[in-house]
Structure 1
Amino acid sequence: MNDEISDKYKISPYLIIFPLYSSMVGIGVLTYQRRLIEHAGYNAWISVIFTGISIHFLLWMIYKLLSSAEDSHDIAVINKKLFGRILGNLFNAAIVLYFVFGAFVKFKGYIELVQVWLFPSMNFLPVSIVILLLVYYAVSGGVRSVTGMTVWATIISFVSIVPQVTLTIPFLHPLNLLPLLNHSIPELLLSSKDMAFEYLGFEILLLFYPFIKTPEKSQKWAHFTLVMITLLYLMILVVAFMFFTEEQLRHSIWPTLNMIGIFEVPLLQRLEYMFISMWFIKIIVGVSIYVWAACRGAKIAFRIRPRIILVLILIAFTVLCEVIRDHRTVEKLSEIYSEVGVYFIYVYIPFVLIGVLIRQRWVRHLRRTS
């Protein structure tokens, strides 16, 4: 059974907006346009809507799963009850590693971005250590500390990306979107699978749920956040389609930054430099949420002190960041994480929900017959 969590460590239901947004919107928002057009071309905006709708169903499943558990609202405990101690802990270990993997992909993606755009010849070991020390500070402060930082990260994200992307409006060509609906359903679904990577992060609710006061009231805020994120992705994608030709977009690694980079502002000179710098706090927060989830999962499943697992994770990140340097390897890691994430959210979550509901009915049947 879960350790009882005091109300002083919990957050208000509406505050779930900020952890969800910060965990779901990351470096991928700078690159996802190129991946989406591989299968569906400029009809890929439909795939964004398809994926957003499917994530709403998965979000509902998570709330149903965690609220249906009779004496525990933590996925680590649910796994043990559902699959037994040994198999349940294997699932829990996989979940912990999944969040550690996701945190590293976010962390390394930002380091590479800064190296390419700002300081190509700089030794980034000291910078990596500084970032990870800030992650340590945030995670060791607990869930309320992480949530507080997500508020600032969300504000910074909107202030940095929405106004700057809208500056491209005079340079857009709406006819780029034509012809409409010239791709098949299978092509749109393949594009939707690629888009699922951008929505990964909402699954932190599996471990965040017990820290929400009256968590059932947070569900409407979670769905509102998902609508907001879907509209953001849709806006940036459509703007990129109208700004670039399809051939240009296929050869652009960071389309969002390339759009912003056409503007020069007095004093600042290059807006994309300001954008990357402002997202420093955003990436720290995104990494911190995933690392916190991994530490929480390890504590509940294996009774490991969170501070110990936190230090081990950050040391591993420092070493891996020095070992992995080329862009192709980073891209391959992102692809693997995306593939694992798709199976995690579309297979594991429905599977566990069905298991919990079956177990619930079986227990009720035994009670009635006893």
Structure 2
Amino acid sequence: MNTSGNRYSMSPIHLFFVLYVSLVSVGLMNFQYKMLHGAENDGWISIVLASVIVAVVIKMMYVLLGRQSPIQSTLVHINQRYWGRYVGSIINWIFILYFVLGSFVAFLSYVHIVQLWILPTQNIAVISLAILVLVYYCVAGGIQSVTGLCLWGTLFILLLVFPQIFLVASYLHPRNLLPILDHDASSIWHSTRDMLHEFIGCGILLVVYPFIKTPERSVRWAYAAVITAAVVYLVFFTFTFMFFSHGQMKEHLWPTLSLISIIEMPLIQRMEYLVLSFWLLKMLAIIALGLWAACHCLKLEKSIRPSLGLKIATVLFVILIMVIRNSTQIDMMTEVYMRTGEVLIFIYLPLLFLVSLFRINRGQFAQSTKETPNRTGKGDEK
């Protein structure tokens, strides 16, 4: 149990919102387009398989974290424990850079979509800086501010955006999903691998775990987040493929927005504008969560105050905004992030899990039972 102050902790149910935000990102806008290079209309199989794999990885993370003493159940300490101080520090720096890169990719991808769909002729720099200020303000508030933003980002999408997809039900053609099971295993796996890239955000569990008041009660909420994310992807996949033919899908780089754009409601002519506006809250949560994780890991690794780490990351964001100018560069950064996440989350973490099972622990990291453990570390936790 996390016995640290309530100011730096969260309830088990909050893990649902944190993980859901991490699992459903900007990729929801165009993951269907990627299916055209693999399973196509059988992509629902890939979504199910990817969800099962992620659930298994989350189980591994819980077992790995549960085998640590309360004061050492953090990503930084686990890497140093099993690989030594120097190798562990290198791996920690890789994770820190990975979290920062993930935040920046989400930030840049959202800004790029806004520029394409809403403000094609406007200078996007002002909007970029405004979003960055909001992110800085949220991350500076600490774990509870970030968790609260994840909560509202999840509720806005599930309650206001997700139901809108059902308004196109009368335009769907179920025959577009036929024939079923018409693709070989390699095509299915190709699309499954693409879907796993959408789920690489699950690694945030290794950072937020010490802040959960009763971690053993959070397991069901973690699985609930995976199931909810899978349902959302499945609904958007089936509706999109039932609305567009395969030929039409090739012409729509952002199938989700293209589908939503046909919805007509009183007083609202461009529904995708409303969706992207609501989506900002969710993207703020994703960006803030990644930056907070990087700053927290930096604090544990080098004893650098999170406030200073946040300033450094903000300056880095501003520099990258000025350097990254076109969609090709954005795609390159996204590809680097996806491949790195694939290695860290779906190869390295299972390896770390196996090492934790078979390696004989040398020494005990736990403090005396008379001492009060503080798994979040001493000092400023923001």
Q: Tell me the TM-score normalized by structure 1.
A: 0.94
The separation in 2 between residues aligned to 1:22 and 1:180, in whole angstroms, is 31
Matched AA of 1:29 = L
**1:356 aligned residue:** 356
Q: Which residue of 2 aligns with 1:107?
A: 107
Partner of 1:251: 251
User: How many residues are aligned here?
Assistant: 362
1:201 alignment partner, SS class:
helix
1:262-300 C-alpha deviation (Å, 9 max, x unpaired): 123232211001111111111111100000000011001
Give runs of aligned pairs for residues 330-369 of structure 1, distance below 5 A.
Answer: 330-360=330-360
- Distance (whole Å) between structure 2 residues aligned to residue 23 and residue 335 of structure 1: 17
Report the AA paired with residue 156 of structure 1: F
Q: Deviations over 1:59-79 (max 9, x none)?
A: 001111111113511010111
Please report how far the alpha carbon of residue 4 of structure 1 lies from its aligned counterpart in structure 2 after TM superposition.
8.0
155-164 or 32-41, which deviates more: 155-164
Q: CA deviation at 1:332?
A: 2.3
| SS of match in other structure, 1:126 | helix
State the alpha-carbon separation in 2 of the partners of residues 135 and 126 from structure 1.
14
Residue 347 of structure 1 deviates from its aligned partner by 0.7
Number of the residue aligned with 2:72: 72
Equivalent residue letter for 1:75: L
The corresponding residue for 1:367 is: none
Tell me, in whole angstroms, the C-alpha distance in 2 between the residues paired with 1:206 and 1:120: 39
User: Could you tell me which amino acid in structure 1 is paired with residue 215 of structure 2?
Assistant: P
**Structure 1, 179-188 or 92-101: larger mean CA deviation:** 179-188
Report the equivalent of 2:131: 131
Aligned residue in 1 for 2:18: 19
Q: Deviations over 1:244-271 (max 9, x none)?
A: 1112112211100000111232322110
- CA RMSD, Structure 1 to Structure 2 (Å): 1.6
1:147-206 residue CA offsets vs partner (Å, 9 max, x unmatched): 111111111111343222111110000001111111111211111001112112111011
Equivalent-residue separation in structure 2 for 1:153 and 1:250 (angstroms): 30
Deviation at 1:305, TM superposition (A): 1.2
- Identity among equivalent positions (%) equals 36
CA distance in structure 1 between the aligned counterparts of 2:92 and 2:200, rounded to whole angstroms: 18
Alignment match, 2:32? 33
Once residues 249 and 311 of structure 1 are traced to their aligned partners in structure 2, the CA distance between those partners, rounded to angstroms, is 42
Q: State the AA in 2 paired with 1:273.
A: Y
Decide whether the 8 Å contact of 1:92 with 1:301 is kept in 2.
Answer: yes
Amino acid aligned to 2:36 = I
Distance 1:307 1:19 in 2: 21
In the TM superposition, 1:53-64 aligns within 5 A as 53-64=52-63
Normalized per residue, the structure richer in helix is 1
1:111-139 deviation line (CA, Å, top 9, x unaligned) = 00111111112122221111111111111
Aligned residue in 1 for 2:201: 201
Whether the aligned pair in 2 keeps the contact of 1:69 and 1:356 (CA below 8 Å) is no
2:295 maps to 1:295: yes
Q: For the Cα contact (< 8 Å) 2:29–2:255, is it kept in 1?
A: yes
Partner in structure 2 of residue 273 of structure 1: 273
Runs (5+) with no aligned partner, structure 1? 365-370
Q: Distance in 1 between matches of 2:256 and 2:150?
A: 22
* Equivalence for 1:92: 92
* Residues 307-348 of structure 1 deviation map (CA, whole Å, 9 limit, x = unaligned): 111111111112212221211221222222111111111111
Question: Is the Cα–Cα contact under 8 Å of residues 161 and 278 in structure 2 kept in the other structure?
Answer: no
CA contact (8 A) 1:66 1:74 kept: yes
TM-score, normalised on structure 2? 0.91
1:304-315 map, 5 Å: 304-315=304-315
Q: What code does the residue aligned with 2:45 have?
A: I
CA distance in 2, matches of 1:249, 1:226: 27
CA contact (8 A) 1:96 1:298 kept: yes
CA distance in structure 2 between the partners assigned to 1:78 and 1:37 by the alignment:
40
Q: Give distance in 2, aligned partners of 1:267 and 1:111.
A: 26
Secondary structure (helix, strand or coil) at the match of 1:38 reads coil
Q: Determine if contact 1:36/1:195 at 8 Å carries over to the other structure.
A: no
1:154 has 2:154 as partner: yes
Aligned equivalent of 2:370: none
Distance 1:362 1:304, change over 3 A: closer
Matched with 1:49 is 48
Note if contact 1:139-1:292 (Cα within 8 Å) is conserved in structure 2: yes
Corresponding position of 1:183: 183
Q: Deviations over 1:8-61 (max 9, x none)?
A: 311111111111111221211011001122111211110000000000000001
1:206-225 equivalent positions in 2, closer than 5 A = 206-225=206-225
In structure 2, the gaps of 5 or more residues are 365-382
